[in-house]
C-alpha cells in the first residue's frame, strides 16, 4: 500500500521536493501506510497530501480517511509564489521582496505588477501598465446612476461590492477567462475602476457630486482627487497624504491565503468572471474579523472614550464574554505584524503634520497594556495592521465606515494576482470541501401541515 501511495503522488503532481515520509499505522486494521512529505523549499512548509489519506480504508467499500479541519487551521489549499509570511518571525515578502523595502521605495502600481507578474517592471513595462490603468478609470454612466440608487446611509462596502459585481454585466466578454487578452483587460479594468467606484461611494454617503477621474494624476492622487475635489480646476493633494496612502496601499496589497483571498480563489474556481470573483472578496473583507476590523478599532476606541476606562474594557475582553480587542491577534502572525510596525511609524509622521489624533492616547495605552498583560502575551496577541490604520485614515478626514473600502482598493491587486495564479495552476479544480454529515439518518416524510403522510 505504501508503494501505491508513493507511486500515485510521484506520478501526476507538480514537483515539490520530496523528503522522507510519514508512517501511519491504522489500529483498526493493523496496516501501515507511508505518505510522502513534501518540502516547498521553505523550512516549516512541509506537507503531506490530503488525498494520500484516502488510501487508508477499513475495507474496499470504505470511502477512505478524510481530514477534518474547520476554518483551515492546518490546511494548505494551494501552492503560491506570490506572498510569503513567517508568522513567528514577523516576516512578510511579496515575490521575495521584504515589505519594508517595498513600502520604502516602490509605488503601489509597481507592486501590483510585481504581485501579478513575479518580477519588478522595467521602465517601459511600468509606463504602459500605468497608461493602461489610467485609460480605464472611467465607468459607464449607467454605473454612476446605478450608484445613486443606494440609500443615503448605505455602507460604502455594500455599494462597492454591488457595483463591482454589476461591472460583470457591462463586460460580458470577461467571462472568457481562459483567453489571456480578456484576462489582462479585466485585470486592468478592475485595478482602474475599483478606486473610481470607491470614491463614488464616498461622494454618495457625503451627498456630494461624483468627481470623474483625472488621468493626468498618479493612481493615488487621482483617487484622492475623486474623493476630495470640490470646485478647484485641478486637485492638488497634500503630498504627505499621497505618500501615506501609497504606503498603506502597498501594505494591504496582498496577504496570501486570508479570508477574502480564499473567497476570491474559491468563487473564481467555478470559472466565473473576475468581476464576480472580486466582488466575493470584497464581501469577505467587509467582516469585522477581517478588513472590517479597522472600522471596528475606531468604534471600540469611541466606546472606551477615555484612557481611564481602559482597565474596565480590558477586563471585559479577558472576561471571556466574546468581546475582543479589535486590531489585535492574527491567524498567522504570532509576533508583531510587520505591517503594523510600518503603519505606526507612518502614523507618527502624519500626526506630526496634522496634529495628534485625540484617540491616539487611548490606542497607545491599549497597546501598552495588551503587550504587558499575560492574557495577550500567552495567546501571542499583537497589534495587527488594522490597529493604527484607522487613526491615520481618520486624521486624513476619511469617515470611519470608509476605512475598509480603502483596504479593498489596495487588496484588489492581490486578489487579481491570486485569481490568475489559481486559474493557471493545473492542479486546481473547483473548490469543493467535504463535510462530515451529522444530521439524521433516512426517515419517512410525514407532513406536520396535513395529516396522512405519503399518499
Rounded to the nearest 10°, the torsion over CA 446, 451, 454, 455 is 180
Which residue among the candidates 86, 337, 357, 386 is catalytic per the annotation? 386
The secondary structure element, H or E, covering residue 84 is strand 83-86
Shortest distance in whole angstroms from residue 246 CB to ligand CMC = 19
Based on the residue annotation, tell me whether 155 is a catalytic residue of this protein: no
Shortest distance in whole angstroms from residue 283 CB to ligand CMC = 13
Shortest distance in whole angstroms from residue 388 CB to ligand CMC = 12
Based on the residue annotation, tell me whether 306 is a catalytic residue of this protein: no
In the block, which residue shows the cell 509622521? Answer: 349
Residue 85, φ and ψ in degrees, nearest 5: -125, 130
Shortest distance in whole angstroms from residue 223 CB to ligand CMC = 20
**Exposure of 279 by Cβ count < 10 A (0-12 exposed, 13-18 middle, 19+ buried)?**
buried
Q: Which C-beta is closer to ligand CMC: that of 102 or that of 174? A: 102
Please state, in angstroms and rounded to a whole number, the distance separating the CA atoms of residues 370 and 383: 9
Q: Which C-beta is closer to ligand CMC: that of 219 or that of 328? A: 328
Q: Which C-beta is closer to ligand CMC: that of 83 or that of 258? A: 258
Question: Where do contacts with ligand CMC occur on this chain (CB under 6 A)?
Answer: 258, 289-291, 293, 317, 324-331, 379, 381, 384-386
Shortest distance in whole angstroms from residue 360 CB to ligand CMC = 18
Shortest distance in whole angstroms from residue 315 CB to ligand CMC = 12
Please state, in angstroms and rounded to a whole number, the distance separating the CA atoms of residues 299 and 400: 8
Residue 433, φ and ψ in degrees, nearest 5: -70, 165
Q: Which C-beta is closer to ligand CMC: that of 262 or that of 276? A: 262
Q: Which C-beta is closer to ligand CMC: that of 183 or that of 330? A: 330
Shortest distance in whole angstroms from residue 297 CB to ligand CMC = 7
Which residue among the candidates 136, 290, 357, 401 is catalytic per the annotation? 290
Cell (9 digits) for 388: 493604527
Which residue among the candidates 136, 330, 337, 357 is catalytic per the annotation? 330
In the block, which residue shows the cell 504570532? Answer: 334
In the block, which residue shows the cell 503560491? Answer: 80
Contact 293, 384 (CB under 8 A): yes
Contact 222, 215 (CB under 8 A): yes
Contact 275, 164 (CB under 8 A): yes
Q: Which C-beta is closer to ligand CMC: that of 195 or that of 291? A: 291
How far CA 411 is from CA of 218, 247, 253, 264, 308, in Å, comes to 18, 13, 4, 11, 36
**Exposure of 384 by Cβ count < 10 A (0-12 exposed, 13-18 middle, 19+ buried)?**
buried
Contact 407, 339 (CB under 8 A): no
Q: Which C-beta is closer to ligand CMC: that of 254 or that of 273? A: 254
Cα 46 versus chain centre, distance: 24
Q: Which C-beta is closer to ligand CMC: that of 145 or that of 378? A: 378
Q: Which C-beta is closer to ligand CMC: that of 384 or that of 395? A: 384
Q: What Rg, from alpha-carbon coordinates, does the chain have? A: 25
Shortest distance in whole angstroms from residue 336 CB to ligand CMC = 12
Closest residue to ligand CMC in the complex (CB): 329
Shortest distance in whole angstroms from residue 242 CB to ligand CMC = 24
Say how many CA atoms lie within 13 Å of 236 toward its Cβ. Answer: 0
Based on the residue annotation, tell me whether 386 is a catalytic residue of this protein: yes
| 293-304 and 403-424 helices, crossing angle to 10° | 150
Please state, in angstroms and rounded to a whole number, the distance separating the CA atoms of residues 440 and 450: 22
Catalytic residues: 290, 330, 386
Amino acid at each position: 500500500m505504501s508503494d501505491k501511495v508513493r507511486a500515485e503522488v510521484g506520478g501526476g503532481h507538480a514537483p515539490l521536493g520530496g523528503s522522507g515520509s510519514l508512517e501511519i499505522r491504522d489500529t483498526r486494521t493493523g496496516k501501515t501506510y507511508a505518505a510522502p512529505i513534501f518540502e516547498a523549499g521553505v523550512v516549516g512548509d512541509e506537507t503531506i497530501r490530503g488525498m494520500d489519506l484516502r488510501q487508508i480504508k477499513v475495507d474496499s467499500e470504505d470511502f477512505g480517511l478524510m481530514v477534518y479541519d474547520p476554518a483551515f487551521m492546518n490546511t494548505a489549499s494551494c501552492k503560491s509564489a506570490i506572498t510569503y509570511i513567517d508568522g513567528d518571525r514577523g516576516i512578510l515578502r511579496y515575490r521575495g521582496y521584504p515589505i519594508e523595502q517595498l513600502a520604502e521605495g516602490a509605488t503601489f502600481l509597481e507592486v501590483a505588477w510585481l504581485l501579478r507578474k513575479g518580477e519588478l517592471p522595467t521602465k517601459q513595462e511600468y509606463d504602459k501598465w500605468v497608461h493602461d490603468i489610467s485609460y480605464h478609470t472611467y465607468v459607464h454612466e449607467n454605473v454612476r446612476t446605478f450608484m445613486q440608487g443606494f440609500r443615503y446611509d448605505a455602507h460604502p462596502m455594500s455599494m462597492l461590492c454591488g457595483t463591482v459585481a454589476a461591472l460583470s454585466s457591462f463586460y460580458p466578454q470577461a467571462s472568457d477567462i481562459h483567453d489571456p487578452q480578456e484576462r489582462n483587460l479585466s485585470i486592468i479594468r478592475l485595478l482602474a475602476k475599483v478606486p473610481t467606484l470607491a470614491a463614488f461611494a464616498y461622494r454618495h454617503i457625503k451627498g456630494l457630486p461624483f468627481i470623474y477621474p483625472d488621468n493626468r494624476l498618479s493612481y493615488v492622487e487621482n483617487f484622492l482627487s475623486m474623493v476630495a475635489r470640490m470646485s478647484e480646476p485641478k486637485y492638488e493633494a497634500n503630498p504627505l497624504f499621497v505618500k501615506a496612502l501609497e504606503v498603506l496601499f502597498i501594505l494591504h496589497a496582498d496577504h496570501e491565503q486570508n479570508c477574502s483571498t480564499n473567497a476570491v480563489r474559491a468563487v473564481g474556481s467555478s470559472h466565473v468572471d473576475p468581476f464576480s470573483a472580486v466582488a466575493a472578496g470584497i464581501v469577505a473583507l467587509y467582516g469585522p474579523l477581517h478588513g472590517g476590523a479597522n472600522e471596528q478599532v475606531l468604534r471600540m476606541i469611541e466606546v472606551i472614550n477615555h484612557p481611564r476606562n481602559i482597565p474596565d474594557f480590558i477586563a471585559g475582553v479577558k472576561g471571556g464574554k466574546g468581546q475582543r480587542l479589535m486590531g489585535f491577534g492574527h491567524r498567522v502572525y504570532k509576533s508583531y505584524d510587520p505591517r503594523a510596525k510600518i503603519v505606526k511609524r507612518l502614523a507618527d509622521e502624519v500626526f506630526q503634520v496634522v496634529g495628534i489624533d485625540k484617540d491616539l492616547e487611548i490606542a497607545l495605552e491599549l497597546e501598552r497594556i495588551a503587550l504587558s498583560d499575560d492574557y495577550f502575551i500567552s495567546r501571542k496577541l499583537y497589534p495587527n495592521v488594522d490597529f493604527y490604520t484607522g487613526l491615520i485614515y481618520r486624521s486624513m478626514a476619511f469617515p470611519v465606515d470608509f476605512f475598509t473600502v480603502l483596504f479593498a482598493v489596495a487588496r484588489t491587486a492581490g486578489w487579481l494576482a491570486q485569481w490568475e495564479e489559481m486559474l493557471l495552476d493545473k492542479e486546481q479544480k473547483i473548490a469543493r470541501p467535504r463535510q462530515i454529515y451529522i444530521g439524521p439518518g433516512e426517515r419517512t416524510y410525514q407532513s406536520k401541515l396535513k395529516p396522512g403522510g405519503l399518499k
